[in-house]
Structure 1
Amino acid sequence: MQGIFQDKRGKVEMVDPEQETLTRYILVDQSVPGKSNSFNDSKVVALTYNSRLINEALSEQTRLNVLIGLAAVALSVLITYLLSGWISRPILQLNQAAKNLARGEWLQNVPIRNRNEVGELARSFEQMAGQLHELVENLEHKVAERTAELAEANVSITHLNEQLKSDNLRMSAELDVTRRLQSMILPTQEELGEVDGLEIAAYMESAEEVGGDYFDVLCQNGSTKIGIGDVTDHGLESGVVMLMTQTAVRTLLTSGETDPARFLDVLNRTVYGNVQRMQTDRNLTLSLIDYKGGQVRLSGQHEELILIRQDGAFELVDTNDLGFPIGLVDEAADFFHHTTLQLGPGDGFVLYTDGVTEAENATGEQYGLARLCQSAKQHWSMNAEGIKEAIITDLRRYIDGHEVYDDITFLVVKQKVVTV
């Protein structure tokens, strides 16, 4: 032993396989500090263990630990299952109630009476389902009411549509009749060619089926009366006012009225009375020219007259002080006056409505009075028909297919040159 524990430290273990024992020797040092000590002053403690019993005890403890672990796991699973069911069951019930609600089962009874947030949610869900049920019932009732109203409105609309179709057909027929009447009462090319001492060429194009522009050439007792006017707006009413004006002018001329002021005064009162009966606000600008033997008597308010001499020199004659819009007021006699012009051979004039000067090209620029004057002056050496065609060509070239918004009307009047 002394050799084994000569360093006075350590321990020694010895195994006896036959006895299945383990002996552990431990050195206990009992030396006194400051004295001479020997190994005999120390003691050796021997501890003997039965390894078989120890191994059996360890095995038993291991089995016990495993059983306890398995029991703990099983208990955990059971507790988890119970807890998950307790937590998820109300949620699943709410989910099923939501599915039932989606299928239209409005009255829902969710059997959750918990006093927690899930229970509060279940009670709120039942309340919401009841409110939805009431809302849907009200909505269905309102939909039924609106459906009935729409059905009734649809019947009315169908009836009105049929009536509108009938009215449109009637209106179309009326417009067609009015348009034909306008065309029928316009002077023919043969009539224009028979006017004594004058070459006359006329052009009219309506922006709609029925236009509001007026022109006429009438011969009576060796004199010629030329009229040009522009009724406000377009359509049937404007066309009717144009027809009334033409009829009244012809009637007054046939009755022998020659004084320009009286002529326009009677015409104005006649048109005004009819316009009031029509309950419309239509009126027109109107200039009348009386020609005889080279003398021109101009009366009435309209666009400026373009007076052109044989050599192409031209001047503008203002008509603002010669009249007043026809049909606008009942009494306008004090506004009607006239002026006198003298034409020589080859002299003449151009009458037009604002549809000519206000015609626009694609950029919105108007044809204008200056261009009309230049076009007439440039081609004045031609006859009246040639001048008319040249102006039309220039106007068409200028607007280049752009939409025309107003009636286009103009007359070229040129005194004939007497050849010997």
Structure 2
Amino acid sequence: FSQGDFVVFKSIAEQSAFALYNAIIYSMANEKKRLDHDLEIARDIQRILLPAEAPAINGFQISGLNVPARQVSGDYFDYIQVDEERLGVAIADVSGKGIPASLIMAICRSVLRAEAARNPSPADVLRKVNRQLYPDIKEDMFISMAYLILDHQRDGVTLARAGHDAPLLYKQQSQTVTPVKSPGMVVGIDSGNVFDRLTSDFAVPLERDDCLVLYTDGVTETLNAEGEEFGLDRMMQSVRASATDGAQAIVKKIIGDVRDFTGSLPQNDDITLIAVRKT
């Protein structure tokens, strides 16, 4: 081959490589577009599964919010009509994020709703949920949950906790905020022998204008630019500063304080909040 032939071959090879590179980029862009479309659909479906608004129940004021860090969330909250007198309130957090966590959460929602119907014991509901989900949850996944039942006839609140962050109890008379540390372990790591023993009903003493706040660790573990966590103390201050203004004000205050704390940093975890106020 002559020197001219090598120049032609080199030119053809370079153009072919460039064309192949463009084809790969185009294919990757199309694949990303397809995945983004699928995620958008998944987000819309998940939004349908979450409550659009809190139900009305005599004697209580309720407000809840979910803010996903990604297009789909591993957090979950729900309101469940147990019977004519009782309303169930659930919050949960699947280990991990994204599509796998959101799928487990959708399954959890279905099982919880089925078991909660006409069952006045939150602990018994969580025991049954754990037994159903345990065989289907991968070894490296688990679900933390808190489930409480509001009884407007008896003015009662009963809580069961499956390894979830302890709810915060605001007492109007003393204006104090304390964690409610009822026993329990996460869903999905034990077939039931240990889980059933640890999970029990816990009566929460709520008087007029007292509040109970349920949340996921996306609130307390939010980081600022210095790598510092928002933390439980700041959250308790937010609750104390807003509790007299009602359930919706508590949720709004906490979200606002978290955003002020993080500044322009992107949200690094799903955030879910539920506030219940005794009226």
Report the TM-score when normalising by structure 1: 0.56
CA deviations 1:126-170 (Å, max 9, x no partner) are: xxxxxxxxxxxxxx9xxxxxx9xxx9xx98x968984x6665455
Q: Secondary structure at the match of 2:169?
A: strand
Relative to structure 2, which stretch is displaced further, 222-231 or 329-338? 329-338
> Are 1:328 and 2:189 an aligned pair?
yes
In 1, the alpha carbon distance for the partners of 2:78 and 2:25 equals 41
Aligned twin of 1:212: 74
Relative to structure 2, which stretch is displaced further, 385-394 or 337-346? 385-394
2:137 aligns with one of 275, 281, 286: 275
2:157 aligns with one of 282, 287, 296: 296
Report the TM-score when normalising by structure 2: 0.83
In 2, the alpha carbon distance for the partners of 1:271 and 1:167 equals 33
Quick check: which has more Rg, 1 or 2? 1
Whether contact under 8 Å (1:178, 1:240) holds in the other structure is no
In 2, the alpha carbon distance for the partners of 1:329 and 1:394 equals 37
Q: Which runs of 5+ in 1 are unaligned?
A: 1-102, 105-139, 141-146
The number of residue pairs the alignment matches comes to 262
Q: 1:218 to 1:325 in 2, by over 3 A?
A: same
Aligned twin of 1:287: 146
Aligned twin of 2:10: none
In 1, the alpha carbon distance for the partners of 2:124 and 2:151 equals 19
Give the superposition deviation at 1:380: 1.5
Whether contact under 8 Å (1:195, 1:219) holds in the other structure is no
Give the superposition deviation at 1:315: 1.6
Aligned twin of 2:116: 253
> Are 1:351 and 2:210 an aligned pair?
no
Q: Which runs of 5+ in 2 are unaligned?
A: 7-12
Percent of aligned pairs with the same amino acid: 26
Q: Secondary structure at the match of 1:409?
A: strand
Whether contact under 8 Å (2:211, 2:243) holds in the other structure is no
2:65 aligns with one of 184, 199, 203: 203
1:389 aligns with one of 224, 236, 252: 252
Query: Within 5 Å, which residues of 2 pair with 1:77-116?
Result: none
Q: Give 1:307's aligned amino acid.
A: L
In 1, the alpha carbon distance for the partners of 2:24 and 2:133 equals 38
Bigger relative CO (Cα 8 Å, ≥ 6 apart)? 2
Q: 1:376 to 1:259 in 2, by over 3 A?
A: closer
Q: Secondary structure at the match of 2:179?
A: strand
Aligned twin of 1:379: 242
Whether contact under 8 Å (1:237, 1:282) holds in the other structure is no
Q: Give 2:61's aligned amino acid.
A: E
